[in-house]
Amino acid sequence: MLKEQINRFQAEETPFYFYDLQLLQQTLDVCKNAADKYNFHVHYAMKANFNQKVLERIQKVGFGADCVSGNEVKKAIEIGFDPRKVVFAGVGKSDREITEALQNDIFCFNVESVQELGVINGLAEAQGKIAQVALRINPNVDAHTHHNITTGLEENKFGINHWELHDCVDALKKLPHVALVGIHFHIGSQITNLTVFKSLCVKVNEIHSWFEERGFNLKVLNVGGGLGVDYHNPDEKPIADFEEYFRIFDQFLERKHGQEVHFELGRALVAHSGSLISKVLYVKNGIKKHFLVLDAGMTELMRPALYQAYHQIESLSLGQAQEGNTVKYDIVGPICESTDCFGKEVELPESKRGDLIAIRTAGAYGEVMASKYNLRAEIKSLYSE
């Protein structure tokens, strides 16, 4: 797909994000069909990508929205997501954000502390409303992913720990303007070992039983997201294995008749559909190192600097070198930081100034994390229908 766009790309000022909307639609359809098989509910994690055209496609499929800021809640509703399918998570919701979400009658707040329960209760009382809440519980399950994107361990800032559950139950009995509708979990991101989700199911079953024993009949079991994608083989595996992912929860999660199971998927829906397209500004050949200096940097794609994340890097320019004549380059950007590096010792055809470079699988946590550090210009987007 990318090389088919080479003439179009050469006519555009770089860098820019390119979205394959056909692949996005295929991914959404596969996910929807796999979830519908088990009557599972999917909320799209908006933090992964809130590009307008991407959101419009996701909304039309019928997914809900998982939001982690007040502005994400507003954006979801502006795009057309049903407020009754909007959930609001986050460890630090402000009073203004909570108030505006209540005014929009969203489905549920995923609550992360006993204190937050009290705050929501007070703000809901001021509007004469009852806020539906789910308790985000820390299951202490190791997601076996990068430590910066692990969220389900007791050492992480997210969620309510087991020893706080009694306090939550006591608080709920005293707070008339909050109603507990479910329990919520999210153990991390970019999880490729699916057996981790079996461990999550065991924990959810235990905690679900704990609430049942105390008289709470929960409408929703929200198991979060975290399903990873194959960054190393974007063409061989462009769509995540949603069928196996959902099958695990159907097999191992114990749910009652009529109880809903909710998911919050982001990366797995959008990652492969986006690529960062850049040009070579300079080639710096040394004795021990060779560098390609691109016009895109960590301001356009933060993940490699922040997480040491891998992205497949490809040369799109044609006829630039003899077959088999390759060089190992460090692929770097123009930002005044040593961490501004997309990859080290990347083997590419011998390159020259002006060659087009694609950084693949950048549709998740790429454009949304872009910054204006060094007074960089806002990055634009191109699309293929």
Res 154 pLDDT > 90 = no
Q: How confident is the model at residue 146 (pLDDT cuts 50, 70, 90)?
A: very low
Q: Please give the Cα distance from 124 to 87 (Å, whole number).
A: 16
Q: How confident is the model at residue 151 (pLDDT cuts 50, 70, 90)?
A: very low
Q: How far apart are the first and last CA of the chain?
A: 11
Q: Check whether residue 263 and residue 277 sit in a common domain.
A: no
Q: How confident is the model at residue 127 (pLDDT cuts 50, 70, 90)?
A: very high
Q: Check whether residue 136 and residue 40 sit in a common domain.
A: yes
pLDDT, residue 286, reads 84
CATH number (domain holding residue 56): 3.20.20.10
Q: Check whether residue 286 and residue 263 sit in a common domain.
A: no
Res 159 pLDDT > 80 = yes
pLDDT, residue 158, reads 65
Number of domains in the chain: 2
**In which domain, by residue range, is 354 found?**
3-15+272-384
Q: Check whether residue 371 and residue 243 sit in a common domain.
A: no
pLDDT, residue 152, reads 39
CATH number (domain holding residue 302): 2.40.37.10
pLDDT above 90: percentage of residues in the chain: 87
DSSP H or E segment with residue 220: strand 220-222
Query: Six-digit token pair at 202?
Result: 């065991």
pLDDT, residue 324, reads 65
Q: pLDDT, tens digit, for every residue of 298-354?
A: 999 999 999 899 999 999 986 544 456 899 999 999 999 999 999 999 999 999 999
Res 149 pLDDT > 50 = no
**Average pLDDT across the chain, whole number:** 93
pTM to 2 decimals?
0.93
Name the domain boundary from 231, 250, 271. Answer: 271
Q: How confident is the model at residue 156 (pLDDT cuts 50, 70, 90)?
A: low
Q: Check whether residue 75 and residue 146 sit in a common domain.
A: yes
Burial class of residue 13 in the structure, from the number of CB atoms within 10 Å of its CB (0-12 exposed, 13-18 middle, 19+ buried): exposed
- Angle of CA points 290, 277, 52, to nearest 5°: 150
- Are the beta carbons of 110 and 136 closer than 8 angstroms? yes
Weakest mean pLDDT among 10-24, 147-161, 335-349, 366-380:
147-161
Q: How confident is the model at residue 153 (pLDDT cuts 50, 70, 90)?
A: very low
Name the domain boundary from 215, 246, 271. Answer: 271
- Which residues are within 8 A (CB) of 326 and not within 5 positions of it... i.e. 6 or more apart? 347, 348, 349, 350
Q: What is the total residue count of the chain?
A: 385
Q: Check whether residue 324 and residue 230 sit in a common domain.
A: no
- Give, to the nearest 10 degrees, the angle between helix 195-213 and helix 242-252: 40
Q: Check whether residue 201 and residue 55 sit in a common domain.
A: yes
pLDDT, residue 141, reads 76
Q: Check whether residue 140 and residue 240 sit in a common domain.
A: yes
Average pLDDT over residues 226-253: 97
Q: Check whether residue 243 and residue 375 sit in a common domain.
A: no
Average pLDDT over residues 148-157: 49
pLDDT, residue 323, reads 57
Average pLDDT over residues 43-59: 98
- Residue recorded with tokens 């039309």: 60
Name the domain boundary from 226, 254, 271. Answer: 271
Q: Check whether residue 264 and residue 380 sit in a common domain.
A: no
Q: Check whether residue 231 and residue 264 sit in a common domain.
A: yes
Q: How confident is the model at residue 142 (pLDDT cuts 50, 70, 90)?
A: low
pLDDT, residue 148, reads 45
Output DSSP code: residue 274. Answer: E
Q: Check whether residue 153 and residue 90 sit in a common domain.
A: yes
Average pLDDT over residues 102-119: 97
Long-range contacts of 320-329 (CB under 8 A, 24+ apart): 320/349, 320/350, 320/351, 320/352, 320/355, 321/349, 321/350, 321/351, 325/349, 325/350, 326/350, 327/290, 327/351, 328/290, 329/290, 329/291, 329/292
